[in-house]
C-alpha cells in the first residue's frame, strides 16, 4: 500500500545506491510508483536488470537507468553520475542506501573489519554525495536521504565498526544539512532498527550466536522486546525514504527519522 499519489515525484530524477539490497530495492520501486525517473546502482548487474524490469512493469512511463558501479572507487562514482545526467538529466534526489554490516568485540576487531564499514557506509556516501551535490547547489533544488541506523544513535554490544560508521553518517547528515538548505537542498537520514532483509536477519543471527540461541529464538525475543511486536519491513523503510524526497516535508532539515517499532523513543 502506498500513501503517495502517483505524481508525488513526477519529473524528478533519483539516484539510488545499494539498489540490489532490500531497502534500496524497495526504494526504487516506491520511487517509480510516484513518478520519478531513477538511476539504480550496485555491483550486481543481473540484479539491477531484474529490478529495472520490475520497475518498468510498475510504471512504464518513467526512465530507469542501470549503472553498475563500485562506489568505493572514484572513477566509478564519477562515471555513474556522468552517465546518469547524460541519460536522464539533472539528478534532483539522492538515496545513499549502499552499506554493509559486521562487527566484533573490540579485542577481536581486525583493522579490515574496522575499515570496510567505514569506507562504504561513510566515506563512499560522502564522496558520492559530493559529486551529486555540486549540481544540486547550482540548481538550487534537491533532496538527499542517507541511510543510517538506530546503531548510529546508540551503541550496542559487538557493534563498534558498524555503529561508528553509522554515527558518522548522522554527523555528515547534520553538517551538510546546514550548508545545503541555504541552496534549497534538503538533507535527512533514515535510522531503521532491525529490518526484514538479509542484512537484518544476519544481524539477528549474530546476536543469537553470541547468546547461544537459534535464529528463530533470537528473532522471537527481538520482536517481543519491541512495543510494536515486530521488526520493520523494507517496504516501510522505502516509503519513509520517498516521503523525505517529496515536497511534503519542505521544512524537515537534518533530521534522523527512527523506524524502531517503538524500541527507541529518544
Show the domains of the chain with their CATH numbers: 13-193+242-259 (3.40.50.720), 194-231 (no CATH)
Residue 99: count other Cβ atoms within 10 Å of its Cβ: 25
- Residue of 244 and 6 predicted with greater confidence: 244
- CA atoms lying within 13 Å on the CB side of residue 136: 30
Q: What is the pLDDT at residue 4?
A: 63
CB of 41 closer than 8 Å to CB of 80: yes
Residue 3: per-residue pLDDT: 58
| Segment 174-216, tens digit of pLDDT | 999 999 999 999 999 999 999 999 999 999 999 999 999 999 9
pLDDT of 126 higher than 60: yes
Burial class (CB in 10 A: 0-12, 13-18, 19+), 237: buried
Band (84; pLDDT cuts 50, 70, 90)? very high
Q: Are 215 and 201 in contact (CB under 8 A)?
A: yes
Maximum separation of any 2 CA atoms in the chain, in Å: 54
Let me know if 86 is exposed, middle or buried by CB neighbors in 10 A (0-12, 13-18, 19+): exposed
Neighbours of 67 (CB within 10 A): 22
Dist CA 30 CA 55 (whole Å): 9
Residues forming beta bridges with residue 190, ordered by sequence position: 147, 257
Percent of the chain topping pLDDT 90? 94
The pLDDT confidence band at residue 2, using thresholds 50, 70 and 90, is low
Residue 111 C-alpha cell reads as 583493522
Helix, strand or coil for residue 189? strand
Q: Encode pLDDT of 17-49 as tens digits.
A: 999 989 999 999 999 999 999 999 999 999 999
Model confidence pLDDT, tens digit, residues 155-178: 999 999 999 999 999 999 999 999
pLDDT score, position 265: 85
125-139 vs 74-87: helix crossing angle, rounded to 10:
30
Q: How confident is the model at residue 219 (pLDDT cuts 50, 70, 90)?
A: very high
Mean pLDDT over 132-154 rounds to: 97
What burial class does residue 225 get, using C-beta atoms within 10 Å of its C-beta: 0-12 exposed, 13-18 middle, 19+ buried? exposed
Over residues 90-96, the mean pLDDT reads 98
Q: What residues are labeled active site?
A: 162
pTM value is 0.95
> With bands split at pLDDT 50, 70 and 90, how would you rate the model's confidence at 123?
very high
Question: What does the pLDDT average to over 103-108?
Answer: 91
Statement: residue 1 has pLDDT above 60: no
pLDDT at position 266 = 74
Confidence at residue 121, expressed as pLDDT on a 0 to 100 scale: 97
Cβ proximity of 93 and 144 under 8 Å:
yes
Amino acid at each position: 500500500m502506498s500513501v503517495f499519489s502517483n505524481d508525488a515525484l513526477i519529473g524528478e530524477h533519483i539516484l539510488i545506491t545499494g539498489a540490489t539490497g532490500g531497502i534500496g530495492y524497495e526504494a526504487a520501486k516506491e520511487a517509480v510508483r510516484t513518478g520519478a525517473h531513477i538511476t539504480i546502482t550496485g555491483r550486481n548487474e543481473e540484479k539491477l536488470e531484474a529490478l529495472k524490469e520490475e520497475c518498468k512493469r510498475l510504471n512504464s512511463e518513467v526512465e530507469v537507468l542501470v549503472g553498475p558501479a563500485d562506489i568505493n572507487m572514484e572513477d566509478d562514482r564519477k562515471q555513474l553520475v556522468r552517465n546518469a545526467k547524460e541519460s536522464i538529466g539533472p539528478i534532483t534526489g539522492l538515496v545513499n542506501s549502499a552499506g554493509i554490516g559486521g562487527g566484533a568485540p573490540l579485542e577481536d576487531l581486525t583493522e579490515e573489519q574496522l575499515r570496510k564499514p567505514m569506507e562504504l557506509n561513510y566515506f563512499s556516501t560522502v564522496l558520492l554525495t559530493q559529486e551529486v551535490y555540486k549540481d544540486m547547489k547550482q540548481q538550487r533544488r534537491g533532496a538527499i536521504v542517507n541511510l543510517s541506523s538506530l546503531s548510529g544513535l546508540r551503541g550496542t554490544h559487538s557493534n563498534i565498526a558498524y555503529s561508528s560508521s553509522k554515527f558518522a553518517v548522522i554527523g555528515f547528515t547534520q553538517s551538510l544539512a546546514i550548508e545545503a538548505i541555504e541552496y534549497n537542498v534538503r538533507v535527512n537520514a533514515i535510522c531503521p532498527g532491525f529490518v526484514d532483509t538479509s542484512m537484518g536477519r544476519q544481524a539477528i543471527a549474530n546476536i543469537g550466536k553470541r547468546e547461544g540461541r537459534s535464529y528463530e529464538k533470537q528473532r522471537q525475543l527481538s520482536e517481543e522486546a519491541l512495543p510494536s511486536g515486530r521488526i520493520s519491513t523494507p517496504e516501510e523503510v522505502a516509503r519513509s525514504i520517498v516521503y523525505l524526497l517529496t515536497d511534503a516535508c519542505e521544512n524537515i532539515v537534518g533530521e534522523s527519522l527512527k523506524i524502531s517499532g517503538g524500541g527507541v523513543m529518544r
